[in-house]
Structure 1
Amino acid sequence: MGFLDIENLRKEFGDTVAVDGISLSVEEGEFVTVVGPSGCGKTTTLLNIAGLQLPTAGSIQLRGRDLTSLPAYERDIGVVFQDYALFPHKTVAENIAFGLKMRGADEAEREAKVEEMLSIIDLEGYEDVYPHECSGGEQQRVAVARALAFDPDLVLMDEPLSNLDKKLRGTMRTELKRIQRETGITTIYVTHNQTEALSMGDRIAVLNDGRIEQFDDPKAAYEQPTSPFVANFLGTSSRIDGELRLEPEPKVRMGNASVAVEERPGFDDGDRVAVFVRTELASLHVSRPSEENAFSGTIRDIDYQGSEAVYFVSVPEFDAPLQVSDRVSGATLDPGNEVWVSVDPSDVIYTSVEGSTDGARREQLAVEGQ
């Protein structure tokens, strides 16, 4: 058993199934990110763990204690909400000390803890400041301090950075990880932002339609996805479906074209697979390169993003355009230009096409984080 064990969690709202049999085990001190598109069940899962909703079926255990039917106030779980939910009429110190006061801590203990938490979140001197006098980032840190102040067994965070601008989000990602490392508290962090999920989590759970598609370390989830959904959701890729041929060398054939790949365990000759070419791993050329995987095409569109440009290249052999993040030194490229796209076989991702894999095996891999 882990520190937190969730078994076959299911939550229904009338005829709607929001969470459909989620199982996962979290170790003490881990920072686990839960990511997925809107409506996939990630916030509902968090609310069930917190006790703010009760599951339709399944169980939740923390330190071996069954929490499934307990109210939220008996769970020793801190929660950081998307809108922070700070008390506007209370000072920063009063907000941070609220959970301690409700648990009967005396004034001296509360003051000492507030001082400690303000040091951790780098807001010394803010004791008498009110939330409306704080910036968004400062309010977010106060909300985190309040969730940590009473020394909970577990902290849950629901999209805590979604109200911040892009630059501040990047700064606060670093701050949250620093705070979590300093306190060592087990944390589950819900987000729809793939960058946050990959950069912050010790492990990442990718949800889709109320189920876990993959529960793994971020590098493995990104580089070795176990389903087309995970491959497509994490990062930016171009997808092509085809048939895996292992002889005389591993390739995926799509009609008259083929893509060289590396052989991977668990796949057999003739398997239907989905091939994914990561935008940042493909290269753009103005003349034919020597690489094995080289395809000629026409630039259909260019998405200039400041630090880089993403080229959408129509390749005759493929149904969908290839996306390439690149800059070609000394060349000015425009829509309509003829170019070449290459990708190393080791950088080509492929997964079994949905419906062609053993569902039980995939669910087991997700639960075990493999």
Structure 2
Amino acid sequence: MPADGALPPEALGGQRPLGFYVHVPYCATRCGYCDFNTYTAGELRGTSRDDYAAALVDEVRLARKVLRDDPRPVETVFVGGGTPTLLPAADLGRMLGAIRDEFGLADGAEVTTEANPESVDPAYLGELREQGFTRVSFGMQSARQHVLKVLDRTHTPGRPEACVAEARAAGFEHVNLDLIYGTPGESDDDWRASLDAAVGAGPDHVSAYALIVEEGTQLTRRIRRGEVPMTDDDEHADRYLIAEEQLSAAGFRWYEVSNWATSEAARCRHNELYWTGADWWGAGPGAHSHVGGVRWWNVKHPAPYAQALAAGRTPGAGRELLTAEDRRVERILLELRLSSGCPLSLLAPAGAAAAGRARDEGLLEAGPYAQGRAVLTLRGRLLADAVVRDLVD
């Protein structure tokens, strides 16, 4: 990684949409299932949350130097974590302001922040809206207290639903609720209750993810000690079908395997930017970026991240140049997860043959297939990873 973060000339001057991901790596407590790059107060070692916005602004200014005179305004900004709303709303606004000042925001730009339900109140949400945020995503996970306890989530049932109402009152048109299914000890009825609560709160977007038990987490250790049961793939499939049934009945439509929206306008445009291979700059410790076929990632801890920027160096820890084959495979991996599917023209001969078999087996829709696209059926969504593996051959 060059010390100044310079990109190869051929990576610059692209025509793809440009977005910004801003990582805020702070959490009040560590959830037992989480392996994200996050830090509690006792893990910061030599840095403070109070100084974070200044370091992040420095990276935005570095991005402007690296991208030179790239004329593209930023179309989407997504502030994730961690818990971004542990920072003052003014700090989040300062980061957004730096992006606006250095690059400009496109007309109608989507600006999202994630939020822990217990970390916001009506005044905070109102200030976020005044700072220019247009969308907020709340981590609900479950409506059942015993499920939240297994996940080590600290909010109380009912608080995420109240947050949706508070966000609407603050002027947010687009609100998402994140749900997790497959938590040890969760029943089908628990999951139905969570979906009912989420839909009843009135968001226009719901994300529902299968719990992944990651190595090194507290939840993995608890499962190995036999303290909580492990859910299996069949239970995950059943919960997905329940989600599709209940969300569809409530007027939501899937547009990516784990995401449902009430309209095209309600879709998360920033995530669509990822899934369609556009360009984004990832700012913050551990953040990943992609511009013009170059992917890089920052150092993980906030202290060396801030030190590098203070010394005028990139915080990048390493990078890779994607080949044409890398990008073809990634397009298949990502676009197949979308309701629009991926072009059959991307497939090599073995993958094309596999797509024909998948259509015959009811894993790909026949109509779009005849029009040159591979689109997953509902059954195909349940087996998406296996279908993808066959198609990338």
Q: Which has the higher strand share?
A: 1
Write 1 or 2 for the structure with the bigger share of helix: 2
Q: Which structure is larger by alpha-carbon Rg, 1 or 2? A: 1
TM-score by length of 1: 0.29
